[in-house]
Structure formats: structure tokens, C-alpha cells
A and B are shown apart, each in its own frame.
Chain A
Amino acid sequence: MSEIIVKCSEIHKSFGDLEVLKGVNLTVNKGEVVSILGPSGSGKTTFLRCINFLERADHGSIAVNGYEVPCRTAGKRQILELRRKTAMVFQNYNLFKNKTVLENVMEGLTVVQKVGKREARERSEEMLRRVGLGDRLNYYPVQMSGGQQQRAGIARALVLQPDVILFDEPTSALDPELVGEVLETMKEIAETGITMIVVTHEIGFAHDVASKVVFMDGGVVVEEGTPAEVIDHPQNERTRQFLNKIKE
């Protein structure tokens, strides 16, 4: 019934002697919002970065919208092709510092997707208005607050119309009073039906917005299911401990 959009099989990754991922499997259906939870050091960020090859996994394969790439042997062109089906929102925003907000959003359209300048500008302005930055088009990243920068980062990812957007702890670097505006933006775009994989510490967001929650610990997926299953009625002891700590 539902179409599989991301399929990660048996992902292994070591940094030197440290085995960070010990065979992670994840299947994401079109339109799903998947939240990955877990204590720090559980490998969740590394796993996310393996999906778009910012880290190259040692074993396993990644498939996005039917395009499957073997991790260990993938060549440049395959990686590029795969990356062009995904987009990412970073913990520390990583907006292009030498470009204005509008240029940041247009860049992927004009340079990668070869969309004409005028159309790219219209679509980018539209997207920036959607995330509430319609009045900040010509600002440089340094001139904006963290929350504004992160919303621009979301617009930059969204405008590419990728098959999936990867969120790497998008609110962790923000001042507490700015977290809300970013979560609100994410919630809005989740409702438009775009597929999202979100590594986060925001249990509330995972509970209210995610359609699926994945709990990782020690480099493996310990438990996965609906928010009601994993967050409200965890079956695994480690999940329970983690959730208890967070709720304290």
C-alpha cells in the first residue's frame, strides 16, 4: 500500500577501533516522519550522516526512492545521485556564510537543478515566506538569530523538493526560547506530507508529530514503532531507562 522511500540495510560503521553502528536497518515510507531517539553516543547522528554519505558506512546499502547504492563501493557519481534525492538540516545550521539568505536557498536550484534564475528566485522567496523569513531575504546569516538561521536552513532543504529531508538535531544548538519557532516550522512542513527523518532530543515533537519513533542505543535499533508504542509503552528496558531520565 504505502511506498518505500528510504531503505537502509545492515549499516555498519567504525571509527578506528570504535564500532559506532553495528548493523542498523531502517525502512521509511513515503510521507512518514521518523524520529530517531537515543542517548548521546548511540550512533544516531552517525547513522543519519551515513544516509547521505557525509560519512561512508563500512558495510550495508542505502536506497532512496528505488535508487540503491552499496556503501562500501559507491563511486562519486552514485553518491552525488543519491545526495540529490535527499537534503539535510544541520544542528549548527551551516548556511553558506558568504551568501544572503535568498542566495542560500536559490543556490541548490540554480547550480544543481539548473532551474532558471527567475523561477529559482520566485520559488525561494515563496519558500522563505512559508518559514516566516519573507522580510529577511537579503540578510547574511551572521545578521540573524539562530532560530531564523535554522528556518532558512529548512527552506534551503525544502525548496529542492527532495524525496526525504534529514534533520540532525535541528534544535540542539538553539537558545531555549527559539526552539519553539523551529519546531513549529517543522510541524507545518510535516503536515504537507514530505518525508522526514529527524534525529532529536525533543520527545514532545517525536510524540506529537512523528508517525514512527526509532530508539537507538549502542549502535543498534533497540525498539521501533508508533509514538504511542515506543514513548508511552516502551517494551525494552533500555528505552524505558532513557525515557525516565529525560522526563526527570
Chain B
Amino acid sequence: MRGLDIQYMFECFPEIIRGVPNAIIIAVVALLAGGIIGLLCALVRFFKVPVLRQIVGVYIAIIRGTPLMVQILVTYYGIPRILEYLNYRWGTNMNVNSIPAIYFMFFCFSLYYGSYMTEMFRSCIEAVDPGQLEACYTVGMTTRQGMIRVVLPQAFSTALPNIGNNFIGAIKDASLAFAVAIPEILGRARIVAGRSSKFLEAYIVAAIVYFIICTICQFAVELMEKHSRKYSTR
């Protein structure tokens, strides 16, 4: 039985850790863009806006009904086709092949996390006592003013720990980006291992890197949980 090549693990650590920024960028974009999509869709659902509500329903059903991996591959191969078609149709000259692969990941992750954050935001908005919005009305506020000034801040405060958990999920899910050759943490580990054939060592290092990042984030989430209890007790 061969032992682990510990020294090799230390050697490849710096190279694998260089994938961290990519993973974090993907997670941050997923959270910001997905958060905006999620909030808007949650409002559509909360106020039962006709037509838009059905569209949101279909969007969520599609995203939830398919694996993220499949969505990444379909996006990666599908979007260039669509652009090609648009070029052909409108006579434009978009360079289809020069789009960095990471943009497809941004697109895909935003939609994916948007769908999950829709339900999360909706339940947080619904958890705010309806009396709060009524109180806004009685001092003469419009629905928009009441939502922005009173209801959403309370909903957001409940949502914070959840948003943090989504961020941790997104960092781990970003590992799927290796499928479209983006050098994030797992992707780099694969490249490094491909050169030396020491796969186990490289993947263990990747696991350690993920573990460190996620533990730090988990700590931040726990702080948020404490903060979010500020108004919740009666």
C-alpha cells in the first residue's frame, strides 16, 4: 500500500488555492444577481401579480426539476448557439467563441440561486406580521413605502442566515465549473493531479481548502443568526 505523499500535498497547495478567487466570484455573483432575481420573483408571488406569477412558477419548476450540472452544460453549449442564430438573423457580428466560460457560470448560477432564493424570500416576507403593513397604511404610506421601509428590512433580517447558507452552497456548487474547464478549486486540483497522477493527494488538498472557506463562512452565518434575532422576540 502506498502512503500519502504529504510533501507533494504541501507543494501543490499554493497552486490549488489560486482557484479560490474564481470560486468566490462565482458565489458572489450567484448571490447578488440571484438575490435580486429572488427578491423580485418573491414580490411577484407575494402580491400574486397576474401573468408574471405564472411565468415565475414555470421558471422555478424548470430550475428545480433539473440538476445544476445539466443546466451548466446546456447553458455552455446552448448560449453560443442562440448568439449564432441572432448573428444570422440580425446580421450582427457578436464573437461567439470569445466569451469567457465563467460568464456562462454567472448566468447559470444566478438563475439557479434566484429560484431557490425566491422561495426563501417569500417565506421571510410572509413571516412578517401582516399588522406591520397595515400600520404603514394607517400612517398614510403607500404599499411600496411600507414594503421598503418596514416589511422588507424585517424580512431581510430573518433571511440573512439563510443567505449566508446559500453562499456556502454556492461556493461548493462552484466546483461543478470544472465541467466547463474553469480553473476554480477543484478544477485546479484536477489540472495539478493530471501532471503528477497523484489524484488522491490533490483532491484531499481541494477538500481541505473547501473546508477552510466553508468553516469561515459558517462562523459568519452564526454571527448573522445572532443579529437576526434582534427584533424577532416579542
Contacts and interface: CB of A to CB of B under 8 A. Distances in A.
Interface stretch (B50-58, B79-87, B112-120, B142-150): B142-150
Contact of A94 (B135, B142, B145, B233): B135
Of A86, A94, A108, chain B has the most CB atoms within 10 Å of the CB of A94
Contact of B137 (A83, A96, A140, A156): A83
Of A108, A140, A156, chain B has the most CB atoms within 10 Å of the CB of A108
Interface in A51-73: 52-54
Given A94-B132, A111-B149, A140 B231 contact: yes
A94 B128 CA distance: 11
A107 B234 contact: no
Given A94-B131, A140-B231, A84 B157 contact: no
B140 A96 contact: no
B231 A97 contact: yes
A108 B150 CA distance: 12
Interface in A76-95: 76, 80, 83-84, 86-88, 90, 92, 94-95
Given A96-B132, A96-B135, A80 B142 contact: yes
A86 B142 contact: no
A107 B149 contact: yes
Given A92-B131, A140-B231, A142-B234, A98 B150 contact: yes
A210 interface: no
Interface in B96-150: 129, 131-132, 134-142, 145, 149-150
A54 B140 contact: no
Interface string A137-154: 000111000000000000
B194 interface: no
Q: Give the interface size class of chain B.
A: 20 to 34
Contact of A98 (B131, B137, B154, B233): B154
B138 to A, nearest CB: 4
A113 B64 CA distance: 45
A113 B150 CA distance: 17
A80 B138 contact: no
Nearest to A49: B134
Of B134, B139, B142, B233, chain A has the most CB atoms within 10 Å of the CB of B139
B21 interface: no
A1 interface: no
A157 interface: yes
Nearest to B133: A94
A51 to B, nearest CB: 11
B131 A84 contact: no
Nearest to A160: B139
Contacts of A156: 139
A157 B154 contact: no
B153 interface: yes
B147 to A, nearest CB: 12
Q: Which 5 A-B pairs have the closest CB atoms?
A: A108-B139, A88-B138, A112-B140, A94-B135, A84-B140
Interface of A: 52-54, 76, 80, 83-84, 86-88, 90, 92, 94-99, 107-108, 111-113, 140-142, 156-157, 160, 166
12 contacts: A52-B138, A80-B142, A83-B140, A90-B134, A90-B135, A94-B131, A96-B149, A99-B150, A108-B141, A140-B231, A142-B231, A157-B139
Interface of B: 129, 131-132, 134-142, 145, 149-150, 153-154, 157, 230-231, 233-234
Given A52-B138, A98-B150, A98-B154, 14 more contacts: A53-B137, A54-B137, A54-B138, A84-B140, A90-B135, A94-B134, A96-B132, A97-B132, A98-B157, A98-B231, A107-B139, A108-B141, A112-B141, A160-B139
